Amino acid sequence: MRASGILMPVTSIPSNYGIGCFSKEAYEFVDQLVEAGQKYWQILPLGPTGYGDSPYQSFSTFAGNPYFIDLEYFIEEGLLTKEECEEIDFGDDAGKVDYGKLYVSRNILLKKAFLKSQIEKSEDFQAFCKENESWLYDYCLYREIKAEYEEKCWNDWDDDIRQRKPEALEEYEQKHKDGILFQQFLQYEFYIQWKKLRQYANERGIEIIGDIPIYVSFDSADVWSHPELFELDKNNIPTAVAGCPPDGFSDVGQLWGNPLYRWEYHEKTGYAWWMERVSHCLKLYDVVRIDHFRGFDEYYSIPYGETTARNGKWIKGPGIKLFHALKSGIKQENVKLIAEDLGYLTESVMQLVKDTGYPGMKLLQFAFDSRESGNYLPYHYEKNSVAYTGTHDNHTICGWYKSISEQDRQMALEYIGRENLEEEEIAWEFIRLALASVSDTCIIPIWDYLSLGDEARMNIPSKIGGNWAWRLKKGEITKELLRKIQKMSSIYGRL
């Protein structure tokens, strides 16, 4: 069935207290999706973020980000007052998230709410802790120990707790008993609020497309609690890390720094950790986009300690064996996954996507970029795919059009049958091209529907600081815009 949706990060939703969250404005956005005739709301990963604020470098692959907890819900429940929230400085720019101020201010309010909550008496809370015991306690302990060590990476902790010696674990558990309960409270509130928001969307015909990063951060509860899953030496130092090789966009490549998986160990366990990870995502989302799908066919391994990605090499990944295990092991009907298969694709990667049956991604910005080797022109698209104007890692479509070479711009104009484009026409002509494509699904970022320039860009890969901050301002999504989205979706058979 042909359908369309909008990419809108939760962080970008307008709200009163510094960052987009599960507030009334999120519910209003769901209503706007319905009004615009959309089927999908695509978001970015929901995990807790650290230095750099990237949702792709999370402290846990299972935990939720406390920034998304709605403070107004606590006001309604009597756990906070409006005055307490309004006296906090969340930053003075409604169009940007000030993560520095947020880091300090949110925790103050969340702790106040926790101390009033008496959460330990709640049977629902106790049931939540039991249901998630495989990851929850380790994560909460990790966060409290990390705070004690002034947020240093777990590999800089004292040897006894870094290596999880039983006597050290017992000592820290006792020392941080109240803090662990606080962290459990945050996770409970996150998941309760998200469950309500997702249910609200589902009841109105909106499905959530979530995102699962292929890798986890080295500084995470996952690596600290399960070092056997990753390529680490006897001292738990990575032997190699993830990234991308040099290409037309970067002559040094991308050094992500995430630890690589010990795939032979995962295979011996029947990919049990992956089974748990994907099953967890399917409880959160209706559709799961698997980031950097190429890494399951071949992954780029960079020796630990390198300062660029130049000296890496490609190593064969688990391939179809992993996805056969997931298919047979996940007890859920109609599992919906999207393969993020962007970038340089080898024959074996394309075959893996085909063998899984998952729809791949088609990025319109790549179609007219002479540096890009893939076949992204719309006449190459197939029905079982998801078309995008761009993603969180790209320019906005207006910013992209201004950034490309004159030769590439001329190619784009000839393809759409125009001699030139006025400023206000740029975004909508490429949105039209994506919506008109044969792809069953089309997702347009909200910044493209608003015809915004690169001031609205979410992320510049490999740039440190300043990313993930753009926010929508209240009132920017107008009735007129919703009608225009609805009309164009109707023209191209996507209602």
Q: How does DSSP assign 6-40, residue by residue?
A: EE--GGGS--SSSS--SSHHHHHHHHHHHHTT--E
Q: What is the pLDDT of residue 459?
A: 96
Q: What is the pLDDT of residue 370?
A: 81
How many Å separate Cα 168 from the centre of its chain? 34
**Distance from C-alpha of 310 to C-alpha of 164, rounded to nearest angstrom:** 35
User: Of the residues 340, 369, 408, 440, which is catalytic?
Assistant: 340
The per-residue pLDDT for range 40-85, each reduced to its tens digit, is 999 999 999 988 999 999 999 999 999 999 999 999 999 999 999 9
Encoding tokens for residue 449? 């529907």
**Matching residue, tokens 């066919």:** 297
Asked if 230 and 241 count as a contact pair (C-beta separation under 8 A), the reply is: no
**Distance from C-alpha of 162 to C-alpha of 168, rounded to nearest angstrom:** 9
Asked if 364 and 430 count as a contact pair (C-beta separation under 8 A), the reply is: yes
Query: pTM to 2 decimals?
Result: 0.96
Count Cβ atoms below 10 Å from residue 464 Cβ, excluding itself.
9
Asked if 53 and 222 count as a contact pair (C-beta separation under 8 A), the reply is: no
Q: What is the pLDDT of residue 373?
A: 63
Q: What is the pLDDT of residue 42?
A: 98
Q: What is the pLDDT of residue 32?
A: 98
With residue 366 as reference, give the H or E element that holds it.
Answer: helix 364-367
Pure H helices in 164-319: 166-175, 177-203, 221-225, 263-268, 272-284, 294-297
Query: What CATH architecture is 3-491?
Result: Alpha-Beta Barrel (3.20)
With residue 314 as reference, give the H or E element that holds it.
Answer: strand 313-316
Per the annotation, the verdict on 291 as an active-site residue is: yes
91: left (phi over 0), alpha (psi -120 to 50) or beta: left
Q: What is the pLDDT of residue 131?
A: 97
**Distance from C-alpha of 428 to C-alpha of 424, rounded to nearest angstrom:** 8
Asked if 32 and 483 count as a contact pair (C-beta separation under 8 A), the reply is: no
User: Of the residues 70, 207, 219, 291, which is catalytic?
Assistant: 291
Encoding tokens for residue 220? 């995470």
Q: Rounded to the nearest 5 degrees, what angle is found at the Cα of 255, between the Cα atoms of 11 and 321?
A: 85
Q: How does DSSP assign 426-479, residue by residue?
A: HHHHHHHHHHHSS-SEEEEEHHHHTT--GGG----TT--SS-S-B-PPTT-S-H
- Give the residue from 345, 377, 375 showing the smallest Cα distance to 247: 345
The parts of the chain modelled with pLDDT lower than 70 are 372-374
Q: What is the pLDDT of residue 50?
A: 87
User: Of the residues 25, 31, 393, 429, which is catalytic?
Assistant: 393
Per the annotation, the verdict on 369 as an active-site residue is: no
